Chains A and B, each alone.
Chain A
Amino acid sequence: MLDIQNLQVVFGTGRLRVDAVKDVSFHVEPGAAYGLVGESGSGKSTVLRAICGLAPITAGRVLVEGRAVTTPRGKDFYRTVQMVFQDPYASLHPRHTVDRTLSEPLAIHGEKDQEARILQALREVGLGPSFRFRYPHQLSGGQRQRIAIARALILRPKVLLLDEPTSALDASVQAEILNLLDDLRRKMGLTYILVSHDLAVVAHLCERLLVMRHGEAVEETTSEALRSGVASNAYTQSLIQASQGFTRDAKEPVRSLAG
């Protein structure tokens, strides 16, 4: 479904040059869910943004259903691929109501039954009709994220790129969204790429995942392996350990703590 071949993304030049993604390749089968994990700034969001044409592809290729993507991406592309952004504040138009945010993609693609589809989309993400005419600033962080997810789902795309879709959500809403994503995948064969720093969330939704660091792919592994705590890479191992919660006895004593 998705083929990322030797993807490279460079921002800036000279002193400000950043090699955000260096020679990253992976393949996602139709109906599969693929995870991207790794430390902050390692290039995870940039990979997703490059796929949907929001970051430059400096070298390498991105293939969707066997065909290389065109720049700029066409209307067809966005019918097939939708993205949920890490930052729902920046991705929702501040002066558009929820209703307008959700009806716009329907209108662009000439879809019918707008009203019913909007209400259904809201229901799917656990929001009632009373939210329909609110503006983004009138919503809590998690409510905004749910609107962003509803907008991505409303066209029923084949591929969803999910950038930290549940990191702004509390456990109960997260569970509802994860169940919804699981369900949609089973019923409609959706394909996902999921970026998350929560290994338990990645293991729950994905079968395979790529661990990134400094723009490079350091290890491709499976959720099975994560669950059993096996990782050949030391960095992956440290991610698994750190996911157990906060400990006051720091392993690398950055600065010693008082008391």
Chain B
Amino acid sequence: MTKPLLDVDDLRVRFHLRTGTVEAVRGVSFQLGRERLGIVGESGSGKSQTGRAILGLTPPPGEVTAKRLAFDGIDLLTASKRTLRTLRGGRISMVMQDPKYSLNPVMTIGEQIVEAYQAHAKAGRREARDRALAMLEAVKMRDPARVFSLYPHEVSGGMGQRAMIAMMLVTDPDLLIADEPTSALDVTVSMEVLRILDELVTERGMGLIFISHDLKLVSSFCDRVLVMYAGRVVEQLEAKNLREAQHPYTQGLMRCLPTLKDDVRPLPTLNRDPAWAQ
């Protein structure tokens, strides 16, 4: 077997607050090849913190430990700050869950993409600008030139999300962590964005971690899925078999979804069993 692109073993993230310790991630392990790995799970189950820890972006005073955390053979736990900085936003990118929060409010969208590109590729201003415009077009912006010159507060929710995706893909990463990348997009645009990600995986061999709470989307888009609950992976399965999930939490999740077909009211909710968190 070829060595995995990403190797995560016993990842833990803790926050020591005055009111007690929050264990956001409690021993997550998985390996990722050049594939689409979905992470689903309830709100607060540790999906985003898992992604951030891989990038070394755990907010202070968060504490990260792991038996192993390696990207393409590079040990991320012991790597120098410099190595991490070059990897981050270059070979490893993350599309954050909160696009507007992660975009710089006082810089136009276009300038931010240009800057991201130039930070990792030796390129002139002209080339960087063309690349940025091409990326904005690739994420289906209606008027790339206009969006290029807009500030983050001047774009819609979905446009902000796509701007963020454009910025993260402009450096051609080997690993992309996409945290709810399409949650603010209408279905038609979201399909286009997924198609771009899909191409990068199938044609360029990128590895993709796709964090989402949209089970239907994950089961139709990803190869494998990790189901998280209370900071742990409670189930790992082939994405297409999500409907046959064994864990009562995963089964319950599937039942809570409203559908266009039937009008169920009230919607079924989950009876959380404390044992699931053990």
Contact = CB atoms under 8 A, between A and B. Distances in A.
Interface of A: 11, 15-16, 18, 37-41, 45-46, 86-87, 89-90, 130, 133-134, 137-143, 146, 163-164, 167-176, 178-179, 182-183, 197, 199-201, 203-204, 226-227, 229, 238-240, 242-243, 245-248, 250, 254-255, 257-259
Contacts, number: 180
A171 B42 CA distance: 8
Given A142-B213, A183-B266, A245-B221, 18 more contacts: A38-B186, A39-B189, A87-B157, A138-B22, A146-B43, A163-B157, A168-B97, A171-B253, A171-B256, A171-B257, A172-B252, A172-B270, A179-B267, A197-B184, A197-B187, A242-B188, A250-B191, A257-B199
A142 B44 contact: yes
* Nearest 8 A/B pairs, CB to CB: A142-B43, A40-B158, A170-B213, A242-B187, A245-B220, A197-B186, A175-B256, A175-B267
B33 to A, nearest CB: 16
Interface string B61-105: 000000000000000000000000000000000000110110000
B247 interface: no
Task: Specify which of B15, B184, B217, B220 lies most central, judged by the most chain A CB atoms within 10 Å of its CB.
Answer: B184
A172 B269 contact: yes
Interface string B31-53: 00000000011111100100000
A143 B269 contact: no
Nearest to A242: B187
Contacts of B220: 245-247
A249 to B, nearest CB: 11
10 contacts: A37-B186, A87-B101, A137-B59, A142-B44, A172-B269, A173-B43, A175-B257, A182-B266, A243-B260, A257-B198
Given A172-B256, A175-B267, A203-B260, A11 B195 contact: no
B258 A203 contact: yes
Given A171-B253, A238-B188, A89 B101 contact: yes
Task: Specify which of A89, A163, A201 lies most central, judged by the most chain B CB atoms within 10 Å of its CB.
Answer: A89
Nearest to B267: A175
B202 A16 contact: no
Nearest to A15: B146
Given A140-B48, A171-B253, A171-B254, A90 B203 contact: no
A11 B48 contact: no
